[in-house]
Amino acid sequence: MEKIVLYPSPGIGHLISMVELGKLLLSHTSSISSITILIPNFPFIKGSYSSYISSVSSSFPSITFISLPSVPLLHGDPSNYENMEHILFETLGNNNPNVLQCLQSISESSPISAFIIDFFCYPSLEISKSLEIPTYFFFTSGASCMALFLNFPVYDKIYSDSFRNLDAMIEIPGLFSVHSSYMVEPVLDRGKSYSEFVKVSENFRKSDGIIINTFESLEEKAVMGLKQGICLPGNPIPPVYFIGPLIATRGDNNGGERDECLGWLDSQPSQSVVYLGFGSRGMFSMEQLWEIAIGLENSGVRFLWVVRSPPPTSRDINNVFLAPPELDLNSILPEGFLDRTKDRGLVVKSWVPQIQILGHRSVGGFVTHCGWNSILEAIDDGVPMVAWPLYAEQRFNKVLLVEEIGIALPMNESKDRFVCSSEIEKRVKQIISSKEGDVVRKRVLELKDEAKATINEEGSSSVALKTFIKSWNKTLHRERET
Ligand code: UDP
């Protein structure tokens, strides 16, 4: 019987798709006896983790979660760090002794068939390799983004200035070019996070394979580029498996009870509501929240808007990462806004059951921060998007959605990333009812069908999954023989 160990990085977006991978493996491989998921202790991101974990544990007894002990920060206070990614890389690196102990104890009775890790957890590759465990990366963003990531060491040699200062088009061979300012947020400056991302990229190539949460017809150029090595000329790329879309099962992320906002959606006309949701970490300044409110009010469009407290103005990294303080909507939104829009709008604090919302017949458009899970969820339900990226690789995803795939309208912003109310008004009207909105809706509905087909018995993602499952046995034998 086979044992699989998964090692996601902190953050609900990374955890959910990794858990879905575990469930998928269980449903396709009767020989798997256990899936163990290592959960790093990382107090700087709060989310609805525990209810999610307990709901998965009770529905899937073969999935076990192990919480890793906490590791102290080398530089003490979080404010001594560049950004959250910097803390993540350090913490996950310092977790190696704990990971080693877990892997040794799990493999005591029989070997581990595959160790599947998030890219933030790359330091553990060294350990698993030394234990001869076949080790794969699971990439929680798309294939195009993977092609970009693989090129970081190449860009590092070509450009001596930071991406933030460059003002250049960055080419991804065989794919497309993006402006340097659309680069992944933590690599914009040449700090500690930047060098970690370059190392991540080098480590992808040392693994036994890379699993990507996408499907072939969604990112054809990137899939081809990765399969044929076109996107990283002169360097071998390990086998790549496109097995998506992996999306949380409806019901997993709300603790079982039907949320109030779904009842509100029940009373709205079909495809009339624009949903505005910005992932697990999306926050706006007070000024920006006002502008959104004015734009929504002037648009006359029905809306469901998830609002989080604005971040503190000081660079208090600790506050940025911890759960925001209790939010008083009346004190942060324009006076009378909630009252004036109460017949056609609902504002919800902090967290909603997004998957159920996107699947609701009343939702006709999604203003999204372009997190990869959110994108896949919108595609799965055929909901067209307005792309308003905020952090991580989301600016890159915006280019992909708007210019390459054609399933989102852009939310245009000023140089300092401010979006004015008239732009918000225009885009929410367009996505619900306009020629431009119809074009992206038509394309996303086509992709919805393709996404379903790809996970059918003979679909490309199912085939890729089977190939992946076969690969770990081959890898195991090869490693034992050498
Ligand atoms: N999510 C949710 N409710 C919320 C915010 C987010 O259920 O109010 C879920 C969303 O459905 C998605 C995940 O959290 O599965 C966020 O992942 P994504 O990659 O979109 O963004 P991230 O939070 O990682 O930036």
- Residue 10 domain flag: yes
Instruction: Work out the pLDDT band at 257, boundaries 50, 70, 90.
Output: confident
Contacts of 372 (CB under 8 A, 6+ apart): 13, 140, 141, 142, 145, 213, 393, 397
Q: Is the minimum distance from the CB of 49 to ligand 1 under 6 angstroms?
A: no
Q: What is the pLDDT of residue 317?
A: 43
Measure the CA–CA gap between 373 and 142, rounded to whole angstroms: 10
pLDDT confidence of residue 250: 65
**CATH assignment of the domain containing 393:** 3.40.50.2000
* Res 166: pLDDT: 95
Split at pLDDT 50, 70, 90, the class of 480 is low
Q: Residue with the nearest Cα to atom 5 of ligand 1?
A: 279
**Domain identity same for 93 and 212:** yes
Probe target for ligand 1 pocket from 249, 280, 349, 393, with the most ligand atoms within 8 Å of CB: 280
Q: Please check whether residues 332 and 444 belong to one and the same domain.
A: yes
Question: Does one domain contain both 226 and 263?
Answer: no
Statement to judge: residues 409 and 294 lie in one domain: yes
The model's pTM: 0.95
Q: Which atom of ligand 1 is nearest to the CA of 353?
A: 7
In this structure, the answer to whether residues 368 and 305 fall within a common structural domain is yes
Atom of ligand 1 nearest to the CA of 352: 8
Question: In 3-state terms, what secondary structure has residue 290?
Answer: helix
Q: Is residue 474 in a domain?
A: yes
Any idea which of 268-277, 301-310, 326-335 has the lowest mean pLDDT? Answer: 326-335
Q: How far does the centroid of ligand 1 lie from the alpha carbon of residue 281, in Å? A: 8
Tell me, using a 6 A CB cutoff, whether residue 120 lines ligand 1.
no
Residue nearest to atom 17 of ligand 1 (CA): 13
**399 within domain boundaries:** yes
Looking at the fold, whether 8 and 74 belong to one and the same domain comes out as yes
Q: What is the pLDDT of residues 342-369, one digit of tens each?
A: 999 999 998 899 999 999 999 999 999 9
Residue 250 in any domain: the answer is no
Q: For 147-190, give the DSSP string.
A: HHHHTHHHHHHH--S-HHHH--EEE-TTS-EEEGGGS-GGGSSS
Q: Is 279 in the pocket of ligand 1 (CB under 6 A)?
A: yes
pLDDT (0 to 100) of residue 47? 58
Residue 249, domain member (yes or no): no
Residue 353 is encoded by which pair of tokens?
Answer: 């059951």
Q: In 10-140, which residue ranges form alpha helices assigned H by DSSP? A: 12-28, 49-59, 84-94, 96-106, 124-130
How far is ligand 1, taken at its centre, from the CA of residue 28, in Å?
26
Strand (E) or helix (H) holding 212: strand 209-212
Report the atom number in ligand 1 closest to the C-alpha of 141.
19
The confidence score (pLDDT) of residue 68 equals 94
- pLDDT value of residue 479: 61
Q: For residue 161, what are the domain limits? A: 2-244+458-481
Q: Which atom of ligand 1 is nearest to the CA of 370?
A: 20
The structure tokens listed for 440 are: 């992206």
* Residue 474 CA, ligand 1 centroid: distance in Å: 35
pLDDT digit string (tens) for 201-253? Answer: 999 999 999 999 999 999 999 999 999 999 999 999 999 999 999 998 766 44
Q: Does residue 114 sit in the same domain as residue 174? A: yes
How far apart are the CA of 374 and the centre of ligand 1, in A?
Answer: 6
Say what percent of the chain tops pLDDT 70.
93
Indicate whether 102 and 206 sit together in one domain: yes
Instruction: Over range 266-286, report the average pLDDT.
Output: 94
**What's the domain count of the chain?**
2
Indicate if 372 and 443 belong to the same structural domain. yes
Query: Mean pLDDT throughout 17-32?
Result: 93
Q: What is the pLDDT of residue 253?
A: 47
Q: Does a structural domain hold residue 330?
A: yes
Pair 290, 148 in one domain: no
Q: How many CB atoms lie within 10 A of CB 57?
A: 13
| Predicted confidence (pLDDT) per residue in 34-61, tens digit | 999 999 988 776 555 788 899 899 999 9
pLDDT: is 83 or 375 the higher one? 375
99 within domain boundaries: yes
Residues 6+ apart with CB under 8 A from 269: 302, 362
Q: What is the mean pLDDT of residues 405-430?
A: 97
220-227 vs 143-150: helix axis angle to the nearest 10?
50
Residues 52 and 192 reside in one and the same domain: yes
Q: Does the structure show a pLDDT above 60 at 255?
A: no
Higher pLDDT, 334 or 476: 334
Q: What is the mean pLDDT of residues 280-286?
A: 89
Q: Is 373 in the pocket of ligand 1 (CB under 6 A)?
A: yes
81 vs 440, more confident: 440
Residue 251 domain flag: no
Tell me the average pLDDT across 88-104: 96
Evaluate if residue 314 carries a pLDDT over 50: no
What is the average per-residue pLDDT within 159-173?
Answer: 96
To test ligand 1's pocket by mutation, which of 52, 351, 354, 385 has the most ligand atoms within 8 angstroms of CB? 354
- 74 with 121, same domain: the answer is yes
Q: What are the structure tokens assigned to 177, written together?
A: 């070019």
